[in-house]
Amino acid sequence: MVFTNAVRRALRKARLTLAAYIILGVLYLAFPHYSQLIATLMFYMILAQAFNIFMGMTGYIDFGYVAFVAMGAYGMALAVESLYELGWASIIVGFLLAVALSVALASMVGAIALRLRGAYFAIATIGVNEGVRYLIEGANLVGGSEGVIIVRELRATFGRETANFIMTGLADLALLLIGITAVMITALILSTRVGYALQAIREDEDAARALGINVTRYKVMAFTISAGIGGLLGAANWALKGGYVEPAHVFNIHYTVEAIVMVMLGGPGTLLGPIIGGLFYGSMNYFLGVIKPGLQLLFLAPILLAVVVALPKGLMGYVRERVKDPRLRELLT
């Protein structure tokens, strides 16, 4: 009863955000020619949403975030590589292993780094992705620097046709479902006392502690949820969709920076903000990439600078402060 109330409130908050995903899903089916653009947009939206659950809500910046996404990609790749004889079950195990690995890494990193505040936390997390990457490459673990390639296993198990479908249609469907999951989790957090606790932590952690909020518990909660969704994203978008996992790619800090820019641009701690940030950045990235590959990187820093100076609370924060109507405000959560 209590739970369903919270779900109902969350659904009401999430209307616009869910609509965005559903519209993308429809466009995907209607314009197969653009399906890969749409899938890319969804990747960025989910990356921003997953990052937002921790960074946006608590104000802590995790520079090593991409390591959690990478863990998810490895989880899927390893499951398919070693269990492909099980057929579809190996893919299901892959998603479970993806979450397990990213949450495990998050618990280890969190147990140490979450004791630190502000800039110290950011500095402590900078090396996490590089550290794990060099561990894998240096110790030649799980494929070393060559990574894990699962295209062959997929083709051998499912046949060429089905394998191609898994790497396109099914992976994209998984993205859609992960996006919707991320929306619902964010909306649930925002419509329960967890959201208040995180907001208090973001504004003033010491005060939150003095008021009786178990700050450690909520920080760890947000950190691991954010990592878990990142893991699912890595499993679907990198391992399943790409058919391989390569450390130089999946541990690239570039993705963390993109996540920061998207969240800051859209509005940290909001539901709709990361979606807007993801759509904007994702399409800019795509079209600039088409004009001249690499050009999009040039725009990251100026965008971030402009946002910090002109819209410190992101686009959503800016709009919300100017909307007075409470119903519209709720829609624009």
Partner 1 sequence: MGEGLVVEGLESGYGEMQVLWGVSLRVNRASMTVVLGPNGAGKTTLLRTIMGINKPWKGKVIMEGEDVTFVPPHEKVARGMTLVPEGRRLFPELTVEENLLLGAYTRISTRSTAGYREALSQVYELFPRLRERRGQKAGTLSGGEQQMLAIGRALMSEPRILLLDEPSQGLAPKIAIQIIDLLSNLRRERGLTILLVEQNIAAALKNADYAYVMEQGVIIKEGERDKILHDESIRQAYLGL
Q: Left, alpha or beta for 116 (phi > 0: left; psi -120 to 50: alpha)?
A: beta
Residue 308 in contact with partner 1, rule: CB under 8 A: no
- DSSP 8-state assignment for residue 42: H
If DSSP codes are grouped into helix, strand and coil, which group holds residue 246?
A: coil
CB atoms within 10 A of CB 257: 17
Sole binder of partner 1 in the list 83, 185, 197, 261 (CB under 8 A): 197
- DSSP 8-state assignment for residue 116: S
Sole binder of partner 1 in the list 80, 208, 221, 245 (CB under 8 A): 208
Residue 196 in contact with partner 1, rule: CB under 8 A: yes
Q: How far is the CB of 91 from partner 1 (least distance, A)?
A: 36
Q: Kindly state the helix (H) or strand (E) to which residue 273 belongs, with its residue range.
A: helix 273-291
Tokens of 210: 């003095």
Sole binder of partner 1 in the list 115, 193, 254, 329 (CB under 8 A): 193
Name 154's Cβ contacts closer than 8 Å, sequence gap at least 6.
Answer: 80, 84, 163, 166, 167, 243
Sole binder of partner 1 in the list 26, 111, 135, 207 (CB under 8 A): 207
- Looking at the Cβ atoms of 212 and 294, the one nearer to partner 1 is 212
Instruction: Decide if 333 contacts 271 (C-beta within 8 A).
Output: yes
Instruction: Decide if 277 contacts 264 (C-beta within 8 A).
Output: yes
Sole binder of partner 1 in the list 212, 293, 302, 326 (CB under 8 A): 212
Residue 330 in contact with partner 1, rule: CB under 8 A: no
Q: Candidates 29-37, 56-64, 146-154, 198-206 — which segment interacts with partner 1 by CB under 8 A?
A: 198-206
- Looking at the Cβ atoms of 207 and 328, the one nearer to partner 1 is 207
How many whole angstroms separate alpha carbon 199 and alpha carbon 187?
A: 14
- Looking at the Cβ atoms of 156 and 211, the one nearer to partner 1 is 211
Residues that bind partner 1 (CB under 8 A): 2, 5-6, 192-193, 196-197, 199-200, 203-204, 206-215
